[in-house]
Structure 1
Amino acid sequence: MALTVPPPRTSLPAERDRCAEGERRGGCAQWYEQELGWATAGVAPVRLLTGLRFDALVVPAAAGHAALRRVGRTGPVALMGRRMSLLVAAGSADELPGLLDWLEWGPVTLALTVLGTGGRITAPPPPGRPGPPGAAVWLRPPWPLREQEGERVLPALSGFGSRGGDAPDLVRLVDAVATECHRARLMRARTRLSSDDPAAQPLAFS
C-alpha cells in the first residue's frame, strides 16, 4: 500500500503581521507613521512609542469607561484586555506626579500609570481594519495628520480652562480617572470586607 507523504509545514509568510488580518508586513506601522506621524517599533504586534507625539494614561478598563462618561470627548483611547490607554500630550508623564499632588490624590494608591519617554503601547489595527481575536482596539480612534490642525488636540496642561478644543484639559481628565480608580478600589475593599465578615454571611440551617 503506497503512503502519501504530506508536504512539510511552513510558517506563516514573513510579510504578514498581527496588527490587522491580511496586512502586509509593515502595513500597519506605515499607516501610523505616514497617516499620523507616530513612531512605531516591532511587527508582531506593532508598538506605538510614547513620549514623542503623545504620552498614555493607562488605567483599568472599568475605571476608564466610567471616567470617559464623565469627561465626554477626549483624545484617542485604546483598549487592550482589561487595560485602557488614554492618549495625552507628550510631556504629561512628567507633569502627572505634581498634578496628582495638586489634586490631593498624591497620598492615595491608585491603579493609574503613565507612559512617557521610552514607553510603548500595543497598536490596535487602523480604524476600519479587522484584527485578530484579543487584539487591541480603538475605542476613540486617532485622526490623520491633515485633521490634527485646529481644535482637535490632546489633553494637556496648556489647555487648562480653555474652551476652544474638543478634548478636556489634562487636569479634568486626570481628576476623573483618579476618582474612578479610587472608587473601584473602595468597592473592591468593601466587597472583601463583606466576604470576610461573619455577620455578612448567610445563616446556615441544619
Structure 2
Amino acid sequence: MVGTLPSVTTIPLPRRPLDPGDQVRRWYENELGWPTVPARPGSPLGAPVRLVVGLRFDVLDVPAEAGRAALRHLGPGSPVALRGDRMRLLVAAGSAEELPGVLDWLEWGTLPLDLAVIGEGGLIDAPPPPQEAWAGALQGAAVWLRPPEPGGEVEASLPTLSAMGGGGGAPDLVRVVDTVATQCHRLWLRRACAQPLAGS
C-alpha cells in the first residue's frame, strides 16, 4: 500500500508594510511627472520624499506672512506649499536665474529681503499628496496650500517672465516678485522697528 503524502499548505511570508514615501513618490512621478529623490538613507520611516527643483519648476521661498499677499497675483492652478513659517511659491523653471536681474530692475536688489530662490540642483521636501495632506502631518512639515492638479499641465500655470515663453494664463513673474519683495521689506521694517534701540 502506497502511503499518500499529506498535502502541504504553503503559507506566504508576511508582506512588508508599504513605505508611505513610496506612495508619495508614485503620486508625484506618475500623476505629475515630477522627479523625486527618496528620503535620505538612514532617515526614519516616514521621512519626507524630496522633489527635484529646476527641471519642472523653481521655488520662491519667502516668509509665510509675505507670501500671503502674493497669492492674489497667482493663477488658480499655481501650486503653493507651506513649511513651518515659510511659504514656497512654485514658479517656472529657469526663474531662479532671472530673479537677481528682476530684483535689480524693480530696484529691490540692494535692500535686505528675506527672500530665497531654489533652482536647478535644489531639493525641497515633498508635501503629502492633497488627499493625505493633513492626515498625520507632523507639525512644521510641508503641506500644500494650493496643491498641483494632476492630469493638467501644471507648468503652464506657473509664474513666468513673458520673455521666457510665458503668457497665456500664466501669472507674470515680475508682478509676483514685486509683491513678495514689497511684503518682505514691510516685514523687515516692522521687525527692525520692534528692536530696542542700542544703548537703551
Identity %: 58
Give the CA deviation at 1:164. 3.3
Instruction: Determine whether 1:137 maps to 2:143.
Output: yes
State which of 24, 27, 33 in structure 2 corresponds to 1:28.
Answer: 24
Q: For the Cα contact (< 8 Å) 1:59–1:84, is it kept in 2?
A: yes
Residue 40 (structure 1) aligned to one of 36, 43, 62: 36
Matched residues in 2 for 1:155 and 1:163: separation? 9
* Partners of 1:47 and 1:116 in 2: CA distance: 14
Deviation at 1:141, TM superposition (A): 0.6
- Structure 1 runs (4+) greater than 4 angstroms displaced: 195-198
The residue number in structure 2 matching 1:147 is 152
Partner of 1:147: helix, strand, or coil?
coil
Gap regions ≥5 residues in structure 2: 1-15, 40-46
TM-score (norm 2): 0.78
Match of 2:91 in 1: 88
Q: 1:41 to 1:173 in 2, by over 3 A?
A: same
Which residue identity does 2:36 align to in structure 1? T
SS of the equivalent of 2:99 reads helix
Q: What's the offset of the Cα at 1:65?
A: 1.3
Matched, 1:164 2:168: yes
Does structure 2 conserve the Cα–Cα contact (< 8 Å) formed by 1:125 and 1:131?
no
Q: Which amino acid aligns with 1:147?
A: G
Question: Aligned-residue CA RMSD in angstroms?
Answer: 2.4
User: Amino acid of the residue matched to residue 141 of structure 1?
Assistant: P
Partners of 2:70 and 2:157 in 1: CA distance: 19
Could you say what secondary structure the match of 1:114 adopts? strand
In the alignment of these two chains, the number of paired residues is 173
TM-score (norm 1): 0.76
SS of equivalent to 1:187: helix
**Which amino acid in 2 is paired with 1:27?**
Q
| Structure 1, unpaired ranges of 5+ | 1-12, 17-22, 199-206
Which residue is equivalent to 1:173? 176
- Measured in 2, the distance between the counterparts of 1:36 and 1:95 equals 25
> What are the Cα deviations for residues 164-200 of structure 1, in whole angstroms up to 9, with x where unaligned?
30x421000000010000000000011114x7686xx
